[in-house]
Structure 1
Amino acid sequence: MVYIFHVDGYEDTEMIAPLDMLTRAGIPVTRVGVTGKTITSKMGMTIEADILPEQLDLSDCEMIFLPGGPGTKNYYDKPVIDKAIAYCVAHDCYIAAICAAPSVLAAKGVLEGKNAVCHFSVNDKMAGATVRDELVCVDGKIITGCGAAASIELGLTMVELLRGKEAADRVRHGIGYHG
């Protein structure tokens, strides 16, 4: 199970493209509404979360994912984010984040000594990380994407890590991706 944490102001592409790649691969996904049951994206699109933070049970968690965008600020003081990150660290689950959201991982100490990528606007908030100039970076159980342009590649990387290269290649072929 992949838990996608949604906050108001998330970047549309950064949530939708990875969600699409995961779904095409048959990987179960649960959308957690961090800021409420109905979440509004940066572009004004609304989605309904599958669960609220108080309903979260991570016992089947393989990965958590934090989409970025201007709503990233809404992750910082939420206990559910602390809980999910701590669970993943303790249980060796994957943690994925894109755009500005890797800065949340840095603030929580998860990126200490790790390679990571992020949107250039938060380079100064990546304490402890070595910021790379790539679309997607994998360092151990941490997967980061630099921004909206990396959304499909990040999603395919998530699929490959969870279900293998063949599964990712099937999705890649199915969407006509040649990147």
Structure 2
Amino acid sequence: MDLAFVLYPNLTALDLIGPYEVLGHQPDVTVHFVAETRQPVTADAGLIITPTVTFDELDRADVIVVPGTGTWRDPLEAGVVTAWLRRVHPTATWTTSVCTGSTLLAAAGILTGRPATTHWAVRDALAGLGAVVSTDRVVRDGSVVTAAGVSAGIDMALTLVGLIWGDDRAKFTQLVIEYAPEPPYDAGSPETAPAGMVAFARSAVGGFPS
């Protein structure tokens, strides 16, 4: 099974690494890190990732994972990722996104009229791109699975493991990575965080609408 993890400048590293750690250790998978070129790609906090294949070289994958970025308008305007998604999505078994990666799926026409989720600060933008926006942490519609902000990529990947390899394999994976979150604060969503903090976060997170 071919897994394609999409790379582009300033992607959010955990959007990529969370699903990779969950999916990359499953049986009989081949992982591809796909980008416009084979030159190293720098994530938004400085992590450098080396692609293994280019968009021109990879014309199909069983599973596609598209991470997000705080500067999500940039890859939308560049159009390189969306052009590749239009080409490979029709033959993929699963097409997925994490955080603002859903805006790239939407721009490629994959989410038109479909339920999907994204980072809370980009819900209006995703709706403007034609998706039916949900506030759920993980949303599945047919062969498309979207995750909310950043850390939700782990939930999405575990959901996908359950769909592909079965619930027991997903539970085993959850146990092995000791995914039993007990955050020290209850401020992980705009519904639970103080209103003033939500307003500050909207203005502070680069690239997101205020």
TM-score tier by shorter-chain length is 0.7 to 0.9
Partner of 2:110: 110
Partner of 2:133: 131
The SS at the match of 2:6 is: strand
Map 1:122-161 onto structure 2 (within 5 A): 122-126=122-126, 127-161=129-163
Q: For residue 67 of structure 2, what is the aligned residue in structure 1?
A: 67
What runs of 5+ residues in structure 1 fail to find an aligned partner?
none
What residue is the counterpart of 2:196 in the other structure? none
Identify the structure with the greater helix proportion.
1
1:166 to 165, 168, 178: 168
CA distance in 2, matches of 1:79, 1:86: 11
Query: 1:87 aligns to what?
Result: 88
Aligned partner of residue 109 in structure 2, secondary structure: coil
Cα offset, 1:22, TM superposition: 0.7
Q: Aligned partners of 1:131, 1:7: CA distance in 2, in Å?
A: 24
Aligned AA for 1:114?
A: R
Amino acid at match of 1:20: E
Report the alpha carbon displacement of residue 71 of structure 1 after superposing the two structures with TM: 4.9
What's the TM-score once normalised by structure 2's chain length?
Answer: 0.75
Corresponding residue pairs, total: 176
1:56/1:78 Cα in 2 relative to 1: closer, same or farther (>3 Å)? farther
Percent of aligned positions that are identical:
25
Partner SS state of residue 70, structure 1? coil
> What are structure 2's unaligned runs of at least 5 residues?
182-210
Q: Per-residue displacement from partner, 1:83-115 (whole Å, max 9, x unpaired)?
A: 3333322x2521101111111222222112211
User: Counterparts in 2 of 1:15-94, with a 5 A limit?
Assistant: 15-26=16-27, 27-34=29-36, 36-58=38-60, 61-76=61-76, 77-79=78-80, 81-89=82-90, 91=91, 93-94=93-94
**Amino acid of the structure 2 residue aligned with 1:137:** V
Letter in 2 for 1:156: L
- Corresponding residue of 2:13: 12
- CA positional deviation for 1:145: 0.7
Q: Which gives a bigger RCO, structure 1 or 2 (Cα 8 Å, sep 6+)?
A: 1
Which of 1 and 2 has greater Rg?
2
Query: Aligned with 2:72: secondary structure?
Result: helix
Distance 1:106 1:53 in 2: 19
Where in structure 1 do 4 or more consecutive aligned residues deviate above 3 Å? Answer: 71-75, 77-81, 83-86
Cα distance in 2 for partners of 1:74, 1:38 equals 18
